[in-house]
Amino acid sequence: MAKVTFNDDLCKGCGLCVSACPKKIIIIAKNKINAKGHSPAEVTNQEQCIGCAFCATMCPDCVITVEK
């Protein structure tokens, strides 16, 4: 099973990873604000992740790590 992690403090909530995810399991957090004042992205259902790393490829700030 793949594992996706975000560096919440560096994420600016641009949403590129949300649109890149083929399983639609990444969202922009509604109840979380990071140190820079942005709502970071988060995974809603880690078990559905297929480890494609499209999210990490799209991230302009390299805040996403995908482990298989």
Delineate the domains of the chain, giving CATH numbers in brackets. Answer: 3-67 (3.30.70.20)
Task: State how far the Cα of 36 lies from the Cα of 43, in Å rounded to an integer.
Answer: 20
pLDDT of residue 43: 96
Strand ranges for the chain from DSSP E:
3-6, 26-28, 41-43, 64-67
pLDDT of residue 44: 96
pLDDT of residue 20: 98
What's the predicted TM-score (pTM) here?
A: 0.91
Q: List the one residue out of 64, 45, 47 whose CA is nearest residue 2.
A: 47
Query: How would you write the pLDDT of the chain (68 residues) with one tens digit per residue?
Result: 899 999 999 999 999 999 999 999 999 999 999 999 999 999 999 999 999 999 999 999 999 999 98
pLDDT of residue 1: 82
